[in-house]
Structure 1
């Protein structure tokens, strides 16, 4: 957030003819926080809070925020655990083959194929061991064998996705930029751009995410009558990123239009589809429904979230599906907003059972669980275990 947030907030509020108290009542943001922001005692706030204020003032969120609002980055302990991956990403390749065994195309290709399920199932512990040598071997091989370039592009895309997932945003940016440089076809480029849009969203760079998604959705828009599943999935995902950026920027009409177009791609597919076996491109009617629910939660419509969720066959997705688990966090948040704390805790347990290594890396999970625990006089052992898992002080 810019240090001028308070000035922009005050100027916009006055142009709307609202007092601080009236803005507080309309936005649901505490009067004390509004006063602190306008008086310069606080120079930042959560993106969620900025959107609430923008919604009440009927302006885009980016009217109030002009600089990035980054989701909390990974802790120092997390970064230290991933240091070998960071080093391998930044390492200079050894084209001389001075290693005891020089990597081969078949060996790297097979190793990448074997490692891919570790990404899709959130096996972070295993990836910390497997990924550094695979990155180094792929880098070295690409210097001598042009056939390895698509392999490196794919591995860097996966690494960028993983670093985004674990909130190591600078490393994610490096990996994705290098993946784009190696991309050998339009669809692969657009798929990497999709992950880059997700990174921008997590960093609070709403305008950049929106502009990038718009540009590339236009670039890859398929002819529906003969579009391939890969083309439909790529286009659909870019539209979902556009919708996510728009709803967070308090542009609900644009968000709904993008969702409607994404749904047309999903209808053309007819069912959830994973083009070319790439789990990052899994797309279809369920994915669109999950993102529609996410938009409702961003807009603070808790009742709508639970209504939509009741009609989504989320259990048909794998427990390790990040889209499913992100959706369940929305459901837990909606239950929390409605003071249905037992239901929220049950939802957390579903996520914990399916993806125990994914959950600790989610700031959203920490925020929602923190709200649940703050409203409890005593904590059960289950609550304490979850709090410890997501690194929430109790």
Structure 2
């Protein structure tokens, strides 16, 4: 598209489609006033709005987005993460007070992974810098890679995208085999997607999905988990790029991968670095996420009833993210009390994680805009996700 801004590209695409701003508002569900502001350049658009507009115009989202518009998120506490950023950016081990051992670093890494899974980011800010330095001082490249991978994932969570990319770059150089390489690619896809580089994320996920496709009859749990996890990234990027057929195809393949896994597959995958734990449950959650991206809240709630996420362990990367889709669907269907309860459950289980989620902020903002009066619980959620009131 020849336009230089999102507004330029939207206006040109709309004109090529032969429709007015009012027509586009009716087709997309985006308000006429917002469309006018976007085309005038006085309003940025988030990815979900861009997807709805692109879907209404029957074009890929990436034709409207040069890059995803910057997130209007709470400011990053750079002071809190300065030591970790310095440790990841440093080429050497730095000043290590005591000679580290593989057993000690491995034990500390296991503790750090547990903190990450439980969303204990403040504790990780204290633990990880020394762990990065200690692992760098060792000759054990596997431990170095896993520590850097975790550091990159944490910094992606707290929106330190450039240092996260540096951590993944360092870890990439230590990858011992294809399965670990797939794990790193999966992390990289997530970073690209979260930082708004939709086309790059889509291309990377698709390339690895082809690279990893196994013979299902003989595939190991690790191979199935690696392939399935990348397929979920393919589905996520395709849904956001208004390519529903591609998203559905990837989910069908991921379903097949999950069905072929033997008991114990999550443990094998974790060894290869898949902290997310690919399974048939995560495939179902991705189906719900796709339904939410495509603005089908009733389908999200139907799928959520079958998944029963509240019965699952409150892990950061699957269950809690899925519950945000549930809360969003509840807001879209005007079930504000239920949405509040869902978000309060996530806040109780992972308050530090919730405070870093732009998605949660959007959900609470939508709820507060639709309600004439906020309950004390809604106000508490607004404080947790740093929503200006």
User: What range is the shorter-chain TM-score in?
Assistant: over 0.9
Gaps of 5+ in 1: none
Cα pair 2:96 2:133 within 8 Å, conserved: no
Q: Are the aligned partners of 2:276 and 2:317 in contact in 1 as well (CA < 8 Å)?
A: no
- Match for residue 276 of structure 1? 268
Give the match's secondary structure for 1:183. coil
1:369 aligns with 2:364: yes
1:304 correspondence with 2:299: yes
Q: Does 1:134 align with 2:138?
A: no
Partners of 1:216 and 1:374 in 2: CA distance: 41
Contact persistence 1:233–1:281 (CA under 8 A): no
Q: 1:195 aligns with which of 167, 187, 196?
A: 187
Contact 1:217 1:235 in 2 (8 A): yes
How has the CA–CA distance of structure 1 residues 365 and 139 changed in structure 2, closer, same or farther, with 3 Å as cutoff?
same
Matched, 1:238 2:230: yes
Give, in angstroms, the shift of residue 241 of structure 1: 0.2
Q: What is the deviation of 1:65?
A: 1.1
Q: Secondary structure at the match of 2:275?
A: helix
Distance 1:356 1:5, change over 3 A: closer
The answer (yes or no) to whether the contact 2:89–2:167 under 8 Å persists in 1 is no
1:27 aligns with 2:28: yes
| Secondary structure of the structure 2 residue equivalent to 1:204 | coil
Q: CA deviation at 1:151?
A: 0.6
Does structure 1 retain, via aligned residues, the 8 Å contact 2:48–2:293? yes
Equivalent residues, number: 385
Determine the structure 2 residue equivalent to 1:288.
283
Alignment of 1:18 onto 2:22: no
1:125-148 deviation per Cα after TM superposition (whole angstroms, max 9, x unaligned):
22111111111111122xxx2xx1
TM-score (norm 2): 0.94
Following TM superposition, by how much is the alpha carbon of 1:99 offset from its aligned partner in structure 2, in angstroms?
A: 4.1
Partner of 1:181: 173
Change in 2 beyond 3 A, CA 1:358/1:272? farther
In structure 1, C-alpha distance between the alignment counterparts of 2:322 and 2:311, rounded to whole Å = 13
Give the aligned partner of residue 329 of structure 1: 324
CA distance in 2, matches of 1:74, 1:243: 28
Please give the alpha-carbon distance, in whole angstroms, between the structure 2 residues aligned to 1:47 and 1:3.
17
Give the 3-state SS of the residue equivalent to 1:357 in structure 2.
helix
CA distance in 1, matches of 2:293, 2:113: 31
Q: Is the 8 A contact 1:246 1:252 kept in 2?
A: yes
Once residues 229 and 72 of structure 2 are traced to their aligned partners in structure 1, the CA distance between those partners, rounded to angstroms, is 25
1:341 to 2:355 alignment: no
1:214-254 deviation per Cα after TM superposition (whole angstroms, max 9, x unaligned): 11111111111111111111100100001100010000000
Deviations 1:263-320 (A, max 9, x none): 1001111668413372614111111000000000000001111111111132342123
Greater relative contact order (CA < 8 Å, ≥ 6 in sequence):
2
Q: CA deviation at 1:346?
A: 1.0
Deviation at 1:81, TM superposition (A): 1.2
Q: Is contact 1:157-1:175 (8 Å) kept?
A: yes
What secondary structure is seen at the aligned counterpart in 2 of 1:280?
coil
Cα root mean square deviation, aligned: 2.0
Residue pair 1:73, 1:167 contacting (<8 A) in 2 also: no
1:70–1:202 Cα contact (<8 Å) kept? no
Match of 2:87?
88
Q: Is the 8 A contact 1:72 1:167 kept in 2?
A: no
Residues 167-191 of structure 1 show CA distances to partners (whole Å, capped at 9, x for unaligned) of: 2211211111111111111100111
The TM-score normalised by the length of structure 1 is 0.92
Evaluate the alpha carbon distance shift between residue 73 and residue 90 of structure 1 in structure 2; reply closer, same or farther with a 3 A threshold.
Answer: farther
How far 1:3 moved relative to its partner?
A: 4.1
Change (3 A) 1:189 1:286: same
**Which residue number in structure 2 is paired with residue 212 of structure 1?**
204
- Quote the offset at 1:106 in angstroms: 3.0
